[in-house]
Structure 1
Amino acid sequence: MNYNKKTIRDVDVTGKKVLLRCDFNVPQDKETGAITSDKRIVAALPTIRYLLENGAAVIACSHLGKPKNGPDPKLSLAPVAERLSELLGQTVIFAHDVIGEDAKAKAAALQSGEIMLLENTRFEPGETKNDPALAKALADLADLYVSDAFGAVHRAHASTAGVAAYLPAVSGFLIQKELEFLGGAIFSPKRPLVAILGGSKVSSKIGVINNLLEIADTIIIGGGMAYTFSAALGGKVGDSLLEADWLDYSREMIEKAAAKGVKLLLPVDTVCADAFAPGANFQVVKAGEIPDGWQGLDIGPETVKLYCDAVADAGTVIWNGPMGVFEFPAFAKGTEAVAKALSHTSAITIIGGGDSAAAVEQLGYADQMTHISTGGGASLEFLEGKELPGVACLLDK
């Protein structure tokens, strides 16, 4: 797949009606519906401002949550339109449907320099099925399609991929940046390339490990998935998270890394606890020596030193998944030490969205990373080498 895609700078947007797919899937307070973080709205501003300043009329669209049976007032994008108006300092016209009479009338009346937001695209049942009729109806509202929702490009939905069959399609600045950093790390990394993989399960990272074994110089394993590797080597893991079905696969990966000359680093010690709780009793034991009734919740101090040394002279570091249960302060030390080590290195540091992004933000290191991906699932699939439908559909440069 070609990742060298046309952007809004490569086309003339003046006087055009632009259908802009954003990722406004923002977290909200369950009781009040208030937006609890507007990071995703803020991330879309550079592209929106460029389009408006260059004379486009912007028809923004996004999904929000997972509505079960059509429209759900709790998942309306109306609060997003309100917040976007405040951030832009101009009124964002809100359509109370996606392709209905209100959307059509407001899109038809939209002038250059004005912006409107359609209602939640998932209120239309055809959205997640990539229904061509819905894609065509969305495309009929505009002259140009701009994709800037990296968090949704791994899904072939009507508003993320389908519309590109009916309109010229280019990327906004957010997707351009993601392709530049993630693409650079995969296709032309500054070496040594170190990949840090954490999180809970080996099964969710199979494709990533397979692909990175072909391109990385060092792979570091942490988080819950490390205990499956430990058990694969005959270690005792107590009550730690274990995927018994993936023991053979883990052994194969260890052998494959050795055969390819890739350093595969596994924990040498573990912080284990007698319960999965923030105030649990804990102790440090050697990897593979976790007592019965105890569970590993973080990497130990020797492992921290090993991993921090491994990233010290890296050229590029990709990090996807925390080293432990960073939500509990007692078991956040491994994740925090790795984040601190990355903040001190001169390497290009790329955080692969999801929990890793949440961890570096929570621990205060976000502004010291080169790039934090806005798409957890999308960045994972990118690292697996999978084709992303919402990127494949854009025009090549």
Structure 2
Amino acid sequence: MTDIRTLDDAEISEKRVLTRVDFNVPVRDGSVTDTSRIEGAAPTIAELSEKGAKVIVLAHFGRPKGKRVETESLKPIVETAARVLGKPVGFVDDCIGADVKAAIDNMVPGEILLLENTRFHAGEETNDPAFVDALAENGDVFVNDAFSAAHRAHASTEGLARKLPSYAGRAMEAEIAALTKALEKPQRPVVAIVGGAKVSTKIALLENLCEKMDAIVIGGAMANTFVAAHGGDVGRSLYEPEQADLARRIVLRGEETGCAIVLPKDATVAREFKDGAESWAVGLDAMDEDAMILDLGPHSVDTVKAEIGTAKTLLWNGPLGAFEVSPFDRATVEVAQHAAELTQAGKLTSIAGGGDTLSALHHAGVAEKMTYVSMAGGAFLEWLEGKALPGVEALKK
């Protein structure tokens, strides 16, 4: 694993511990509709509390762009956070200043205090040294448990880590361990599934994975660009004709590195993209010009399942089809369930994340059956692209 400082290295009893988490959760009508990210941070917060720290929680919410926006306050999250954590959670309507200092001074070791949205201050996203200093005044130790924000060099992710003794929280530690296991030290063969709409958004990812994977399965609408680039007919399907050279380059790079690029041979198509639309399977050498490719076909699904069946490690980023609309969820669901069965049988290490992947795995009913599922989006992708993440680099020993 990347050589980072963790809570195992930290002395935190009776210390003021500034704890950066990701509480950027969906809220509707004042209520949190998905507590996954709060649950993800709970083990770190609980451990700090049990070890007698004053746990001072920092988080962002939405994109207020450096101004106080009441609809993007963290206050509505307090009640849910307390319920998930099983402990009272205090709240201050700022993250710096005299009121924050007074509240922290009044804390008893073990108590938890959530501070207001760090992005209410312009200095957060600019990593302004004066704002970093103002945050740091209220802490003795910094713990970063927000991997999903680690690709941003913000004051509360990177700046504080350079200012105070800093450590990775348990969720951050687990994420880095999982990604290191998949990319740097995988059990081989190692296979990646890469789906999504556009090749253009996955260039760096595909190029990096060609160097590390034994095979890459291309799915989603981006597969249409690869098919078209190699002379296939994609009818009215979504694709990027201007990326044809890139698609051919990726396939050539796979040949050079010994990484097989697995493309669809058949597809599930329809003339309309709507729930319950009439659909049928067709070989990609027999496409109707007025049809759209909306999912892999049955033969391609079998090929993908066979590819996974030979693997020891699976890395999954992006759905295989338009899974939000039935019946175009079949490939994603079948392959996900197959991967989950192999994982549960101890035959496969399966690591997934980024974009719509989490939603797709929940839809397939297997998110909890994979080895590790990341809730991070941009940070997960940038790690897979081989980029250094500022929030992680700052935690290295």
Category of TM-score, reference length = shorter chain = over 0.9
Q: Quote the residue 2:269 is aligned against.
A: 272
In 2, the alpha carbon distance for the partners of 1:289 and 1:55 equals: 67
In 2, the alpha carbon distance for the partners of 1:69 and 1:179 equals: 30
In 1, the alpha carbon distance for the partners of 2:259 and 2:362 equals: 30
Q: Quote the residue 2:392 is aligned against.
A: 391
Matches within 5 A, 1:1-397: 3-29=2-28, 32-68=29-65, 70-287=67-284, 289-345=286-342, 346-396=347-397
- Does the Cα contact within 8 Å between 2:234 and 2:287 map onto a contact in 1? yes
- Runs (4+) of structure 1 exceeding 6 A deviation are none
Shift of 1:287: 2.2
In 2, the alpha carbon distance for the partners of 1:260 and 1:171 equals: 34
- Does the Cα contact within 8 Å between 2:353 and 2:377 map onto a contact in 1? yes
What amino acid is the match of 1:78?
A: K
In 2, the alpha carbon distance for the partners of 1:15 and 1:218 equals: 50
> Once the two structures are superposed, what CA deviation does each residue of 1:155-187 show, in whole Å capped at 9, x if it has no partner?
111111111121011100001001111011111
Count, aligned residues: 393
What amino acid is the match of 1:19?
A: L
- Does the Cα contact within 8 Å between 1:234 and 1:288 map onto a contact in 2? no
Structure 2 unaligned segments of length 5 or more: list them.
none
In 2, the alpha carbon distance for the partners of 1:159 and 1:150 equals: 12
In 1, the alpha carbon distance for the partners of 2:356 and 2:87 equals: 34
- Does the Cα contact within 8 Å between 1:342 and 1:349 map onto a contact in 2? yes
Deviates more, 1:56-65 or 1:101-110: 101-110
- Does the Cα contact within 8 Å between 2:194 and 2:219 map onto a contact in 1? yes
Paired residue secondary structure (2:42)? helix
In 2, the alpha carbon distance for the partners of 1:289 and 1:168 equals: 62
Shift of 1:373: 0.8
Paired residue secondary structure (1:40)? helix
Shift of 1:289: 4.1
Paired residue secondary structure (2:14)? coil
Shift of 1:391: 0.4
> Once the two structures are superposed, what CA deviation does each residue of 1:47-79 show, in whole Å capped at 9, x if it has no partner?
011000001101101111112461111111112
- Does the Cα contact within 8 Å between 2:66 and 2:123 map onto a contact in 1? no
> Once the two structures are superposed, what CA deviation does each residue of 1:315-334 show, in whole Å capped at 9, x if it has no partner?
10000000011111210000
In 2, the alpha carbon distance for the partners of 1:383 and 1:288 equals: 33
Shift of 1:110: 2.2
Paired residue secondary structure (2:314)? strand
Structure 1 unaligned segments of length 5 or more: list them.
none
Paired residue secondary structure (1:23)? coil
Paired residue secondary structure (1:219)? strand
> Once the two structures are superposed, what CA deviation does each residue of 1:328-355 show, in whole Å capped at 9, x if it has no partner?
1210000001101101221100012331
What amino acid is the match of 1:13?
A: I
- Does the Cα contact within 8 Å between 2:17 and 2:56 map onto a contact in 1? yes
